[in-house]
Structure 1
């Protein structure tokens, strides 16, 4: 297993030679046993610590070009680090917006708050945007989440409960003149055959749902399947 990561230039134990100023695009490296310390100046100094044998201070093509149409080159350790770290960096960036983490002597409080209000919220936001028709920014998603968790949902539950209660009605007495097509049977047959054939095959019944709009006709089997939730 090898290691590759960034390091602060003022880290204790870093050689004073690493503090030498470099021009943009220049590199400088030191090695002790299998550990390599590579400095590369891009927009600012970047210090990389690596134990990978393929990493050195030479620059490699990235396949990208700057505004001057010049090829962008970077050390291989930087290229590999960016490829492996970009997903984590994006997640950390999303979690950093409106963070709830505050200074504390108890480290576990920070971890718990970061997991619940940072990582978990970002993951929920990504999943929501994948399955929902309306997309939200991370800021608006946090607002909606906070509102949903804090508002009184008693009224909402009452309305939802009423909507979920559907009544199967089968009129008593002679009702042959009031027979209508079962919309559940029709929907099943329509998936496999033309409209005219499905209309002929669908059952004619007198029962219907008293709570659905327009009170559509349902046989008992289709009524239970449609309203099973």
Structure 2
């Protein structure tokens, strides 16, 4: 430790760790963590700076975990877009969700919170029914269990190719029109309705 209170510590547990600390509470003694070694049943002891770091790092790890479930980064050459998207849709969204759940008795999942936030910003109901994708009048595009050929894409490709070639190249989709009883991708559904 120098005269300004900066301490340099080296600790070896599973791997070597070197730390700089300015906290007055950090001393050069080992503190019991309250856990025991599985093999020797001895108390596990660590320096206070390591315990403080691990305790404070939990929040960062939690935010990284929650933002990783819905990954927003896209490929691109400009690094500042990636950083901005991560701050806005990763860290800021998770922080807002945590604060919302702390202030309200009824807890919501991150997905529900994100959907409600998108709906409030855009003013559009993004999921009136979980299985619906695009509603228009009586024709509704719904999700099915099996992947099948898109009827619209098949007909377009059939004009220029043989049916054996079309079967290999046609788009496989899980959506169908409830009224028409045809499997259609979103583009073909929009074009035909």
Q: Structure 2 length normalisation: TM-score?
A: 0.45
Q: Highest CA radius of gyration, 1 or 2?
A: 1
Structure ranking higher in strand proportion: 2
